[in-house]
Amino acid sequence: MLRRLTAGLAAAFLLAVAAAVLIRAAPVPAALLDADPLQARTPLARPGYLVLPAGTAETAGGDAVSPVWPLPPAELLDRLTAIALAEPRTVLAGGDPARGRVTLVQRSRLMGYPDVIAVRALPAPGGATLAILSQSRFGGNDWGVNRARVERWLAALTAAAAPVTAPGAAAPGSAARAGEGTP
C-alpha cells in the first residue's frame, strides 16, 4: 500500500514538473504577439484588461480610458516601455516602436505563466495617448493581475509626466467587467 502511494505521489510530482516546464517553454501564439489594442473588443476572449483612448473606449467597451500626456507618441511609448522593462520577468517580444507599437511579455513569478501586453502610442490633441491590451496566455481567470499591471505602469508614467487629461476609471459599458478578476 505504501509503495503504491509513494509511486502515485512521485508520478503526480513528475507530472507537475513536466507541466511547469511545458508552460515555461510554450511559445506565445503569433495572434497574441500581433494583437492590436485598438481592434480588441470586450468581453475579451482571454482574461485581460483593455485601456483605450477617449473616443474609442465608448464604442469598443474598454475597461478604462487612457489619459493624454504632453509628449510626442514616440517618447510616450519609449517611457512606458522603459517602465515595463524595469519590472522583473518582462521582455520586449515584438512590435515596431518606429510605428508606435510594442508587444511585451511578462511572466508570473512562480509558474512562469506568460501575459502578453500590446501597446500603441497615438497622437492626441495636446500630446499623445495609449491603447493597451494586457492578456493572459493560460487560464480562465487572471485574479486581477493584468489590471494591476496596467494601472501600475500608467501610474508610474503619470508620476513621470503629468497627463493633460485625467486618467479615466472605467469606460462606459464596462460595468459588467468591474468585478472580474478579483479573488
Q: Which CATH number fits domain 28-172: 3.40.50.720, 2.30.130.30, 3.30.530.20, 1.10.3720.10?
A: 3.30.530.20
Each residue's pLDDT tens digit, 122-163: 999 999 999 999 999 887 778 899 999 999 999 999 998 888
Please give, one letter per residue, the 3-state secondary structure of the chain.
Answer: CHHHHHHHHHHHHHHHHHHHHHHHHCCCCHHHHCCCHHHCCCCCCCCEEEEEECCCHHHHCCCEEECEECCCHHHHHHHHHHHHHCCCCEEEEEEEHHHCEEEEEEECCCCCCEEEEEEEEEEECCEEEEEEEEEECCCCCCCCHHHHHHHHHHHHHHHHCCCCCCCCCCCCCCHHHCCCCCC
Each residue's pLDDT tens digit, 54-98: 887 666 678 999 999 999 999 999 999 999 999 999 999 998 888
Q: Indicate whether 20 pLDDT > 50.
A: yes
Q: How confident is the model at residue 24 (pLDDT cuts 50, 70, 90)?
A: low
- Mean pLDDT to the nearest integer, 104-108: 93
Q: What is the pTM of this model?
A: 0.80
Residue ranges per domain, the chain?
Answer: 28-172
